[in-house]
Amino acid sequence: MKKKMMIMAAMMAGTMAFGGLGAAHAATPAERLAQVSQMKLSSIGELADDTRVFAVDKSIEAKSVRFQNRFGFEVAGHLYLPRDFDASKRYKAVVVAGPFGAVKEQASGLYAQEMAKAGFVAVAFDPSTTGESSGICRNMGSPEIFTEDYHAAVDFVTNLQFVNPEQVGAIGICGLSGMAVTAAGSDSRIKAVATSAMYDMSESISDHYNGAYYTPEQRELVKRHLAKIRDEEAKTGKAIRGAHELEVDGSGVVQTFDVMFPDRLPGDANPVIRDFFGYYVGRAYHPRAINSNTSAWDAATPYGFFDFRLMDNLDELGGTPVLLITGDKAHSKYFSDNVYAKIKGEKEEIVVPGATHVDLYDQMDKIPFDRLAAFFDKNLK
């Protein structure tokens, strides 16, 4: 508890230093924006409690928004408006989510802010059951529902009178990349899609990791483990926290955990874990983020990712332009490489020299925001 209080204090101090608390000026009243929204079951309000953990640009207005997806979940987001915003104009727009287990106050908010600085209306949102979005069962990952959240975010922005509904794109960061690409394949309103630090969560969860894929025997052990979890949840009616990516040790024992990270990493922690820890528990700690908290995903989360493969519908993209951003030192680079090889339509892959996977969450000298903005500016016509 003492550790969490110290981290929270450091987070709030950092936010204040960047101008986060009360930084989004109210040049455009939320009430006025709400009046020009044509979407029912949505709302726009002032960003009263600002807990963003990145450097907030005070010249970019941010509003708190809520909208409903077709399953009835209320999705919570932040709406970012371009500099010198004029509600009588019609802007290009992008919707942004990710990483898997993060919240809109972290990487997705930074990306949305940077897109607004480039002249786009942008919405960063918390996937259903996470962050401030609704869901009785908390922190349950779902490839279908998270993909639907992208469709719902497009519903929201295309019904804003200051957005051109023919000029909307999607961005997925890390584990929400697969959902962004999948949504773009079926939703003709998404005219272009970009990913950064792509992770195909279906492969990562249902087949483990490149170079350490499950054997048929290990896969059966994992399925039996998940069946026990489901049975216990069904009998007790209580959520069980556990690993969303399950390892099987040399003795055939499924390895799980009920916290994402320990209070302190062991000295021999591998560089990838150390990189994640430095972001989620260190510089970008947020109390609502699954990856920052002393909790984990619902242990039944893997079911959806065993049931449905996110990358099976790449041909549905057709002529939708795709941009994939990865780093040459990213452990996840193979995900972007594999998807790039499979896409038959217009595509581009940017490999950032010297960038790790986590660098692409918030390192301003590594993330090619200029090329990301240029991609959408070109393809949202």
How far is it, in rounded angstroms, from Cα 62 to Cα 56? Answer: 10
For position 1, what pLDDT does the model report?
38
DSSP 176: G
Q: How many helices (H) and strands (E) does the chain have?
A: 12, 13
Using a 10 angstrom Cβ sphere, with 0-12 exposed, 13-18 middle and 19 or more buried, the burial of residue 209 is middle
Centroid of chain to Cα 131: 11
Residue 210 phi/psi, 5-degree rounding, is: -50, 125
Q: What's the topology of domain 213-305? A: Arc Repressor Mutant, subunit A (1.10.10)
- E strand intervals along the chain: 42-46, 61-68, 74-81, 91-97, 121-125, 163-173, 190-196, 208-209, 212-213, 247-248, 254-255, 322-327, 347-352
Query: What's the pTM value of the predicted model, to 2 decimals?
Result: 0.92
Give the class (CATH, top level) of 2-197+309-379.
alpha beta
Whether the bond into 216 is cis, omega within 30 of 0: no
Residue 68 phi/psi, 5-degree rounding, is: -105, 140
Q: DSSP secondary structure string, 288-331?
A: T-TTTSS---BTTTHHHHHH--GGGGGGGGTT--EEEEEETT-T
* Whether 192 contacts 347, CB under 8 Å: no
Give the bridge partners for 351, in sequence order: 326
- Domain residues of the chain, as ranges? 2-197+309-379, 213-305
How far is it, in rounded angstroms, from Cα 60 to Cα 109? Answer: 12
Give the bridge partners for 75, in sequence order: 67
pLDDT tens by residue, the chain, 381 residues: 334 444 444 444 444 333 333 344 447 988 888 888 888 889 999 998 899 999 999 999 999 999 999 999 999 999 999 999 999 999 999 999 999 999 999 999 999 999 999 999 999 999 999 999 999 999 999 999 999 999 999 999 999 999 999 999 999 999 999 999 999 999 999 999 999 999 999 999 999 888 889 999 999 999 999 999 999 999 999 999 999 999 999 999 999 988 888 888 988 889 999 999 999 999 999 999 999 986 799 999 999 999 999 999 999 999 999 999 999 999 999 999 999 999 999 999 999 999 999 999 999 999 999 999 999 999 998
How far is it, in rounded angstroms, from Cα 275 to Cα 332? Answer: 13
How far is it, in rounded angstroms, from Cα 282 to Cα 14? Answer: 11
For position 294, what pLDDT does the model report?
62
How far is it, in rounded angstroms, from Cα 366 to Cα 355? Answer: 6
The number of beta carbons lying within 10 Å of the beta carbon of residue 354 is: 11
Enter the tokens of residue 207.
């087949």
